Chains A and B, each alone.
Chain A
């Protein structure tokens, strides 16, 4: 953990060396999801509701997934360039060092410019909460926090999954973006607006449902006082376990490319 923080510090310093580029990119990162949210807003102006959900309810959903995504992109994006580590043989060097390979890869890259995206999603969160008029209690706050944290964990799991696949394919797989970017876009809306097969896939295979409409039902008081829904985000975190096991299997399988 201390090593990870050390990596974090060094890379933050190096990112801040190119200040103008850093600021411009952060602003850009602010605008990307902002345009999506504006579109959402206009769609609701025209249609008023989507399968019974109002704009503010969907905005809450949107904020949770985007905060989770920007955090995970900021801290776990090291896996993104993993295929280049394998191709260049750099991964061998990581393996001989007496530290966990996972931490070293995580520490190889941080995307600090995601602060723009994070900031934007946070504004949406405040906007949604302000307009929703919910009676908040501790459990709801815990649930909301758990939704975000669990989202970060799920995205991290997918990043690890994608990186592990490169042990076999060498070349990085763009298709994994369907799960990360696609999962993010899909979960901007409560999953039950989609046909069942989509909803089931993103609940039971990739558990975005556990941070999406299921706990949302509880936060928005739509469950008839069934508090069980409040704890569903914690189940989503379990997704990391198979991902890590797969990663272990991948390392065992690893043969250096030798270059």
Chain B
């Protein structure tokens, strides 16, 4: 465990070096956040019926999405791992006396966290001071906030376990670009990142609840915004744990199978 933790720490400080890139990222995220908000606002102004999520709750989730993008996006790529697989350096990696799944897992976690740490605070801070209804607001009470934190961390575990599956699939396909793109787009949609889940048609909502994707971002963000009640939130935590265990077992078994057959790409 200590090995993984120190590996995680090393990567974290490494990632925190890229400040200019982070600044550009913040600017871009702001733009996207504003754009989504303006579109939703226009939609909400065009109707009189009450929607299952209020505009202001929706805006809060949009800012959370934009600021924590690095934690929730499936397409967030780790080029190092891709290179390991396609260039054949995986051979060295296999010589190390630690478990491959563990190393990769902590690497991916650190990469996502360092990127998110640089970005989330300035975005949320500025968003907080924006005029109503564009502003980001604090949660209703402390319990909501704690539930949000728990589900967010568990959600991060789900995202990484899912992206592990993509990397493992690259042992077979070698080029990850196409599959990451397709998997990323479908996952993003089912996580409610292209259209908020409460605004989807009923059948689609049921499908998203049966798959792991929405438990990564939709769940914590809507808990924060106050759109999900405590009882449902607590049940969802167990669903999250179920998915983490299932995805971990699948990933472990699949990696073992892939490594048995692995052919080192020369060079």
Contact = CB atoms under 8 A, between A and B. Distances in A.
Interface string A168-182: 000001110110001
A38 B39 CA distance: 15
B70 to A, nearest CB: 15
Contacts of A50: 39, 42-43, 46
B194 A194 contact: no
A49 B44 CA distance: 10
Given A51-B42, A182-B35, A43 B27 contact: no
Interface stretch (A27-35, A78-86, A214-222, A232-240): A27-35
B28 A21 contact: no
B32 A182 contact: yes
Contacts of A138: none
Given A31-B182, A31-B185, A32-B181, A39 B194 contact: yes
Given A36-B194, A46-B199, A177 B28 contact: yes
Contact-size category for B: 20 to 34
B51 A46 contact: yes
Interface stretch (A95-103, A185-193, A249-257): A185-193
Interface string B127-155: 00000000000000000000000000000
B21 interface: yes
Contact of A21 (B32, B35, B39, B175): B175
Contacts of A45: 201
B178 interface: yes
Interface residues of A, number: 37
B174 to A, nearest CB: 9
Contacts, number: 93
A52 B204 CA distance: 27
B46 to A, nearest CB: 5
Listed from nearest, the 10 A-B pairs whose CB atoms lie closest are A24-B178, A28-B181, A39-B195, A193-B42, A174-B24, A39-B194, A35-B189, A47-B43, A31-B185, A25-B178
B185 A28 contact: yes
Interface string B46-67: 1100010000000000000000
Interface string B195-238: 10001110010000000000000000000000000000000000
B178 A35 contact: no
B177 interface: yes
B185 A32 contact: yes
Contacts of B204: 42
Q: Is the interface of A mostly helix, strand, loop or mixed?
A: helix
B24 A175 contact: yes
Interface string B167-186: 00000000101110110011
Interface of B: 21, 24-25, 27-28, 31-32, 35, 38-39, 42-47, 51, 175, 177-179, 181-182, 185-186, 188-189, 194-195, 199-201, 204
Given A42-B195, A47-B47, A178-B27, A35 B185 contact: yes
A27 B178 contact: yes
Given A21-B177, A45-B201, A194 B38 contact: yes
Given A27-B178, A27-B182, A195-B38, 15 more contacts: A20-B175, A24-B182, A25-B178, A28-B178, A28-B182, A35-B189, A38-B189, A39-B194, A42-B201, A50-B39, A50-B42, A51-B45, A174-B28, A175-B27, A178-B31
8 contacts: A24-B178, A24-B182, A25-B177, A27-B182, A28-B177, A38-B195, A174-B21, A174-B24
